[in-house]
Chains A and B, each alone.
Chain A
């Protein structure tokens, strides 16, 4: 069972995907394009006013052609930006939901396996029973969201779906953090009863903010606040994965006997015996 715990922890390189901040282009691009398009439109109108009064039958074509050409170019730019943002937004939300699903599902398995492992050592322990309840709660409360469906909905409904999704993802992380902190609080006594050392876990910081507050602020600032909200979605999940990785490495260090893993010379993470590369940092193993 210890190997299973280790395998689940090692699987985090596939499930806990850190998203780059380059995705901030999703909320920033429409703003920049909106300013450019409005400025261009006003510019065309402004340049049209003095020329309109000089229109005659003879010069109408030469005056109106560049005006309509400019308007058509702006319309083309607006369409390209609109569909580009829809497509990129759908992809980014797909990644966001997918990494949430994969992380939650891996963690549920980890919680449940940890509980089973500790229960096999100390079946009558109250703290271990508590871990079991928390593992069950996690399985019931954190069901996967259909990433593909949400991405498709974003493509067709855009603004409202973007807000609803941001709300759901913020709330999910908030609840997940609460469960995680309860699990981390119940774990040390359970480990002690099973005869293991105490992990030195840092105080768990709840993340995610208040989704209702963020929703109202996005509405009241005409969508400008969504730029920051989107940033927090990228930042908070990335930070949560980093915290989780530190917690898991400590856990593995406590649970795994020396013959199962050895510490990586570069990052200090757990490297399985016989492995040539560290599964945490990807560098070649050095003692």
Chain B
């Protein structure tokens, strides 16, 4: 089986998962963006307060400068290693971990929606588009594929455990296929994260004039 066929068949098998996670993510992001926009436009003082607060706290965050491999590594490793962080490893526990993933998905969607709205109001829509879109069009699909891989992991392991605990035979071909899909989707997500991190480090700062 060629790489192209493997990717196509994995995506075809998991399209319902991809679709559901995308809809949940984008719906939450859009609703949050709209709510934030309404709140911020109705209170101009808040925008100034938030800007002042961000400026006064920016010095405490040690982010490497743009165009450096340090920034690339920070973004890339932060994205791919998110669920390998020891305090988040429990997201891999079948079924139970899925509830934490729900929180992670919605939290990220809320943050992106709110930040996009805030930046649009303070710096303009064009600046937001230049800052978010070039890497976002690759990073968000990578993020969705990462969640799809985890969802596939949970479905596969929960089914197997359920069969085992209820005294039925575990469907081994289905189990192998599920684990194979998890690995393939994870690798696809890592590849996209690598590209997105490169764009965010070396292209986006240029577009933003930094």
**Residue B60 is within 8 A (CB to CB) of chain A in the complex:** no
Beyond A46-B43, A224-B27, whether A216 also contacts B158 by CB under 8 A is yes
Tell me the complex Cα distance, A225–B24, Å.
Answer: 8
Contact of A212 among B46, B150, B159 (CB under 8 A): B159
User: From DSSP, what is the main secondary structure of chain A's interface residues?
Assistant: helix
How far does the Cβ of A6 sit from chain B's closest Cβ, in whole Å?
A: 40
Q: A221-B20, A222-B24, A225-B20 are in contact. Are A216 and B45 (CB under 8 A)?
A: no
Given A220-B150, A221-B102, A222-B103, decide whether A215 and B95 contact each other with a Cβ distance below 8 A: yes
Q: What's the Cα separation between A112 and B16 when bound, in Å? A: 39
Report the bound CA distance from A136 to B162 in whole Å.
26
Contact between A216 and B98, CB atoms less than 8 A apart: yes
**Proximity string of chain A (32-56) to chain B, C-beta cutoff 8 Å, 1 when within and 0 when not:** 0001001100110011011000000
Please tell me if A253 contacts chain B, counting CB pairs below 8 Å.
no
> Is the beta-carbon distance between A219 and B102 smaller than 8 angstroms?
yes
Instruction: Write the chain B residue with the least CB distance to A221.
Output: B24
Size of chain B's interface in residues, with CB distance under 8 A?
33
Q: Which secondary structure dominates where chain B touches chain A? A: helix
B133: interface (CB < 8 Å): no
Q: Does A203 interact with chain B (Cβ within 8 Å)?
A: no
Q: Which residue of B lies closest to A225 (CB)?
A: B20
Bound together, the chains give a CA A265 to CA B158 distance in angstroms of 52
Say how far A72's CB is from chain B's closest CB, in angstroms: 20
Q: Which of A213, A215, A223, A228 has the most CB of B within 10 A?
A: A213
Supposing A49-B46, A220-B150 touch, asked if A39 and B35 sit within 8 A by C-beta, the answer is yes
Contact flags B12-31 to A (C-beta < 8 A → 1, else 0): 00001100110110011001
Q: Are B20 and A217 interface neighbours, CB within 8 A? A: yes
Question: Tally of A-B residue pairs with Cβ under 8 A?
Answer: 75
- Chain A residues with Cβ under 8 A from B39's Cβ? 39, 42-43, 46
Q: How far is the CA of A144 from the CA of B20 in the complex (A)?
A: 33
Q: Determine which of A38, A43, A216, A228 lies in contact with B154 in the assembled complex, contact meaning CB atoms within 8 Å.
A: A216
- In the complex, which residues of chain A have a beta carbon less than 8 angstroms from the beta carbon of B31? 35
B102 touches A220 (CB 8 A): yes
A204 vs B30: C-alpha distance when bound (angstroms): 40
Which residues of chain B come closer than 8 Å to A217, judged between CB atoms?
Answer: 17, 20-21, 151
Given A216-B155, A219-B99, check contact A49 B24 (CB 8 Å). no
| CB contact between A222 and one of B17, B38, B46, B102 (< 8 Å): that residue | B102
Q: Which residues of A contact B16 (CB under 8 A)?
A: 213
Contact of B101 with A by CB under 8 A: yes
Q: Which residues of B contact A42 (CB under 8 A)?
A: 35, 39
Decide: B28 and A224 in contact? CB cutoff 8 A: yes
User: With the chains together, A215 CA to B99 CA distance in Å?
Assistant: 10
Select one of B24, B95, B162 contacting A224, CB under 8 A: B24
Query: B45: which of A49, A223, A228 is its contact (CB, 8 Å)?
Result: A49
Which residues 116-140 of B have a CB within 8 angstroms of A? none
Known: A222-B24, A224-B24. A216 touches B105 (CB 8 A): no
Known: A49-B45, A225-B20. A220 touches B154 (CB 8 A): yes
Residue of A nearest to B101 (CB): A220
Determine if B188 is an interface residue (Cβ-Cβ < 8 Å): no
Judged by a CB distance under 8 angstroms, whether B42 is at the interface is yes
CA distance A225 to B98 in the complex (A): 13
List 22 A–B pairs whose Cβ atoms lie within 8 Å, in order of A's numbering.
A35-B31, A35-B35, A38-B35, A42-B35, A42-B39, A43-B39, A212-B159, A213-B155, A216-B98, A216-B154, A216-B158, A217-B20, A217-B21, A219-B102, A220-B98, A220-B151, A221-B24, A222-B24, A222-B28, A224-B24, A224-B28, A228-B20
Known pairs A43-B39, A46-B42, A222-B106 / 15 extra A-B pairs, C-beta < 8 Å? A35-B35, A39-B35, A49-B49, A210-B155, A212-B155, A216-B98, A216-B154, A216-B158, A217-B17, A219-B99, A220-B21, A220-B151, A221-B24, A224-B28, A225-B24
